[in-house]
């Protein structure tokens, strides 16, 4: 017979996940109703409008680690202090230090993804540029 603590843990997890499903199904129902009202209002003002031409906008979860505009400012400050440039991983570690968060493997990866995303946006604006590669990683510098 299975250990009772294992079964009770699995039952608790199943209960939690079933509750999440119910919550999100109710949320989907509410949002779907709101969407139908918006569709009807659009049709009221423009009956010929083809609603199938409206593409869904991608939903992105906002990072709760940074305030609006803080991420690129931090990255630019970090790169200004760097002489030889830094990889996205090194930038992520510096961001963790500046935010006062303990640096470990679980925390570095999401910060590195955030840093890389911001670096790509800063590159598109011409503010930073990759100068060389260090293995598979690019070295980023102020442009």
Whether the pLDDT of residue 1 is over 60: the answer is no
Whether the pLDDT of residue 22 is over 90: the answer is yes
For 73-87, the pLDDT digits (tens) are: 999 999 999 888 888
Q: Which residues contact 89 (CB under 8 A, 6 or more apart)?
A: 108, 112, 137
Please report, in angstroms and rounded to a whole number, the separation of the first and last CA atoms in the chain.
65
Could you say which DSSP state residue 131 is in? E
pLDDT, greater one: 59 or 33: 33
For 101-142, the pLDDT digits (tens) are: 887 878 888 888 888 989 999 999 999 988 877 677 788 988
pLDDT of residue 110: 85
* This prediction's pTM: 0.58
Q: CA-to-CA distance for 130 and 143, rounded, in angstroms? A: 9
> Which of 66, 42, 37, 64 is closest to 52 using CA atoms?
42
Q: How many CB atoms lie within 10 A of CB 89?
A: 16
Q: How many CB atoms lie within 10 A of CB 71?
A: 21
pLDDT of residue 2: 63
């Amino acid at each position: 017979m299975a250990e009772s603590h294992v079964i009770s843990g699995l039952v608790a997890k199943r209960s939690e996940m079933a509750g999440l499903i119910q919550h999100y199904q109710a949320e989907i129902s509410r949002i779907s109703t709101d969407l139908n009202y918006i569709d009807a209002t659009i049709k009221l003002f423009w009956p010929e409008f083809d609603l199938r031409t409206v593409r869904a906008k991608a939903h992105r979860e906002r990072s709760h680690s940074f305030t609006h505009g803080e991420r690129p400012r931090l990255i630019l400050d970090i790169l200004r202090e760097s002489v030889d440039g830094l990889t996205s991983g090194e930038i992520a570690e510096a961001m963790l230090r500046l935010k006062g968060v303990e640096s470990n493997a679980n925390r570095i990866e999401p910060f590195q993804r955030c840093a890389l995303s911001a670096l790509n946006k800063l590159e598109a604006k011409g503010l930073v540029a990759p100068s060389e590669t260090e293995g598979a990683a690019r070295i980023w510098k102020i442009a």
